[in-house]
Chains A and B, each alone.
Chain A
Amino acid sequence: GAGVSQSPSNKVTEKGKDVELRCDPISGHTALYWYRQSLGQGLEFLIYFQGNSAPDKSGLPSDRFSAERTGGSVSTLTIQRTQQEDSAVYLCASSRQGAMGANVLTFGAGSRLTVL
């Protein structure tokens, strides 16, 4: 597609429920990133994919968080048993390649998650 597409744009859920957030990157972009943006916290790295593999999962805050990418394209971020502190905007970005010095990321508009 022309840009990075994320869905849903807004999600309100109850504590303890599972949520899935989807990211459709720019066609041909092999690198895909998930970030979390909370008020006053800045952008927090969650996970990075190169193709379908995730060489860096170091930012996932707990084992309730998981992500997968299939066909080198769409990625899904799953949060199980959501907690109120999971409330944030989840941003997905993609880039043509993941090599250092070429990290011009194109971001999606984000998925705003509110956990009641």
Chain B
Amino acid sequence: SQELEQSPQSLIVQEGKNLTINCTSSKTLYGLYWYKQKYGEGLIFLMMLQKGGEEKSHEKITAKLDEKKQQSSLHITASQPSHAGIYLCGVNAGNNRKLIWGLGTSLAVNP
């Protein structure tokens, strides 16, 4: 099974609606990263969370880290078509330099 589970797998929302994407790890989190990917482009860094309870925002996107639940949630307020893409979470699963990645959440925002 995947070490990192993302839910939902895909999401279609109407423009202006709020939404939440979750990322749950089966192992202790040492750091969690959120990236966004559009078709034909590389991954764009959104946020890095390192401490339990930490919350960061990037424009209308907010992410929180719950260390006890080994989970992070990414919340988009008043979604726009520009928010469409694939959202990926990655974690440092231990003392190594490679990130473990979730399978991603595909988001479509209908105007």
Task: Place the interface of chain B in its size category.
Answer: 20 to 34
Stretch at the interface among A14-22, A42-50, A71-79: A42-50
Per-residue CB proximity of B78-98 to A under 8 Å, as 1/0? 000000000010101001111
**Would A42 and B104 count as touching, CB distance under 8 A?**
yes
28 A-B pairs with CB atoms under 8 Å apart are: A31-B97, A41-B103, A42-B88, A42-B103, A43-B90, A45-B98, A48-B98, A55-B97, A56-B98, A91-B43, A93-B43, A99-B97, A100-B30, A100-B92, A101-B30, A101-B31, A101-B92, A103-B31, A103-B48, A103-B92, A103-B97, A104-B45, A105-B33, A105-B43, A105-B45, A108-B42, A109-B41, A109-B42
Binding site for A on B (CB under 8 A): 2, 30-31, 33, 35, 40-45, 48, 50, 88, 90, 92, 95-99, 101-104
> Which residues of chain B are near A91, meaning CB under 8 Å?
42-43
CB-nearest residue of chain A to B45: A104
CB-nearest residue of chain A to B101: A43
Binding site for B on A (CB under 8 A): 4, 31, 33, 40-43, 45, 48, 50, 55-56, 59, 91, 93, 98-101, 103-110
Residue in B45, B98, B101, B102 whose beta carbon sits within 8 Å of that of A106 in the complex = B45
A106 CA to B35 CA, complexed, in Å: 10
**Would B98 and A33 count as touching, CB distance under 8 A?**
yes
Min CB distance B69 to A, Å, is 21
| Given A43-B88, A56-B96, A109:B101 Cβ within 8 A | no
**Would A98 and B97 count as touching, CB distance under 8 A?**
yes
- 19 new A-B contacts at CB < 8 Å, known A33-B98, A93-B43, A106-B42: A4-B42, A31-B97, A42-B88, A42-B101, A45-B98, A48-B97, A48-B98, A56-B96, A98-B97, A99-B97, A100-B31, A101-B31, A101-B92, A103-B31, A103-B90, A103-B99, A104-B45, A107-B43, A109-B42
